[in-house]
Amino acid sequence: MKPEDGATLSSARGKSVTMGDIARLANVSKPTVSRVLSGSAGVSEGARSRVIAAAREHGYAVNLQARKLRSARTNTVAVVLDFGSHRAGRIADPFVFELLAGVSEALSVRDQDVLLSPPTLVTATAHADLIRARGADGFVFLGQGDRAALFVDLARTSVPFVVWGAADAGARYCAVGSDNRLGGQLAGEHFLKRGAKRWLFVGDIAHIEIRMRFEGLRDAASSGIEIDRLAVEHLAYPSTHASAAAYLAEHAPPDAVFAFSDTAAMAVIAAFREAGHLCPRDYALVGYNDIPPAAHFTPAITTIEQPTHLAGAILVEKLMQRIEGARATSAMLPTRLVLRDT
């Protein structure tokens, strides 16, 4: 190594260390450094160790932007969270967070960067632009919210995306979700066993996932059973609490309640209790998601469990298929009834 080697370091010129610098220090060429650092085979042990030593010594890290510019893929996935439903005093079910953790980990395993989709992205065009701008290779939507129309539009484009949520029967895109219809059926069967006749469904069926749960419930109902529906405005504890209280004031009390989330279930229990309508004494109740507090609530809430651990991995796998141009089928993950006190 000649003394000049240090002097020609680009960092000495006030810039950051580049691959060329490492190449010079290790007495190899740039491509060889590249090969070593991206772990491709076909490099001699000597060259490899010299490169690694030089890189470590000079704190060199490959410039990700340059790499991404050069290669066809960005290796970045945009994740879309449904903040709208969680802000402004509405409640965030831990559920989405668990889903995010799962997705994040699955992507990390595949060396994919996770971009949080900016809240300004609303139209299909805007999403397509992000792909064209090479900001990401595809999208994972965590929760459908009121995006049904967006998905239909997006499915007409070549934008790779997967959606967490119910797969609509004729959906042209890949949706991975728990079997919401089954969830509803399980709730219905539970009510039948309890001999309940006047069922109340709490949830906004404008959301596809939630409508499927309602339909499952309806499927399970035999003749002689009456099903009423209480549309709560937001995914919120307070609004559910208020709606539930108002409902009791105007209607005959139900002897079974199926709530779209455990949080909503808690709100119903609280509101009904204030009116003297007690669970499980006066009615059966099934929640959704099996969040930890459900087990320890008083009464312990019977609920439908979703397989969050699997979900992230499967979503990511499907998206990768789509990005690589393959077809990806929608999938339904099984749910099960967790029987507790209600």
Contacts with its own copies by CB under 8 A lie at 16, 59-66, 68-69, 74, 79, 81, 83, 86-87, 89-92, 94, 96-98, 100-101, 104-105, 108, 113-116, 118-120, 128-130, 132-135, 236-238, 241, 263, 266-267, 270-271, 273-274, 291-293, 295-298
What CA–CA distance (Å, rounded) separates 80 from 148? 14
Name the one range near DNA by CB under 7 A: 37-45, 150-158, 272-280, 307-315: 37-45
What CA–CA distance (Å, rounded) separates 159 from 85? 25
Name the one range near DNA by CB under 7 A: 61-69, 100-108, 270-278, 331-339: 61-69
Contact call for residue 44 and DNA (CB under 7 A): yes
The least CB distance from residue 250 to its own copies, in Å, is 20
Name the one range near DNA by CB under 7 A: 27-35, 85-93, 197-205, 305-313: 27-35
Evaluate whether 80 touches 117 at the Cβ level (below 8 Å).
yes
Name the one range near DNA by CB under 7 A: 9-17, 158-166, 218-226, 283-291: 9-17
Query: Count of residues binding DNA (CB under 7 A)?
Result: 29
Q: What tokens does 206 get?
A: 């404008």
Contact call for residue 52 and DNA (CB under 7 A): no
Q: Which does 231 bind (CB under 5 to 8 A by kind): its own copies, DNA, none?
A: none
Q: Which residues does 61 contact at the CB level (< 8 Å), separation at least 6? A: none
Which position among 5, 12, 38, 157 is part of the footprint of DNA (CB under 7 A)? 38
Binding positions for DNA, 62-91, rule CB under 7 A: 62-63, 66-67, 69-71
Q: Which does 194 bind (CB under 5 to 8 A by kind): DNA, its own copies, none?
A: none
Sign of the dihedral through C-alpha 249, 253, 259, 264: positive
Looking at the Cβ atoms of 87 and 156, the one nearer to its own copies is: 87
Count the Cβ atoms, other than its own, within 10 Å of residue 211: 19
Looking at the Cβ atoms of 27 and 239, the one nearer to DNA is: 27
Contact call for residue 19 and DNA (CB under 7 A): yes
Q: Which does 270 bind (CB under 5 to 8 A by kind): its own copies, DNA, none?
A: its own copies
Looking at the Cβ atoms of 134 and 156, the one nearer to its own copies is: 134
The least CB distance from residue 154 to its own copies, in Å, is 14
3-state secondary structure the chain: CCCHHHHCCHHHHCCCCCHHHHHHHCCCCHHHHHHHHCCCCCCCHHHHHHHHHHHHHCCCCCCHHHHHHHCCCCCEEEEEECHHHCCCCCCCCHHHHHHHHHHHHHHHHCCCEEEECCCCCCCHHHHHHHHHCCCCCEEEEECCCCCHHHHHHHHCCCCCEEEECCCCCCCCCEEEEECHHHHHHHHHHHHHHHCCCEEEEECCCCCHHHHHHHHHHHHHCCCCCEEEEECCCCCCHHHHHHHHHHHHHHCCCCCEEEECCHHHHHHHHHHHHHCCCCCCCCCEEEEEECCHHHHHCCCCCEEEECCHHHHHHHHHHHHHHHHCCCCCCCEEECCEEECCCC
Q: Which does 56 bind (CB under 5 to 8 A by kind): DNA, its own copies, none?
A: none
Contact call for residue 32 and DNA (CB under 7 A): yes
Q: Which does 32 bind (CB under 5 to 8 A by kind): its own copies, DNA, none?
A: DNA
Contact call for residue 37 and DNA (CB under 7 A): yes
Q: Residue numbers of the site for DNA (CB under 7 A)?
A: 10, 15-16, 18-20, 27-32, 34-35, 37-38, 42-44, 46-48, 62-63, 66-67, 69-71
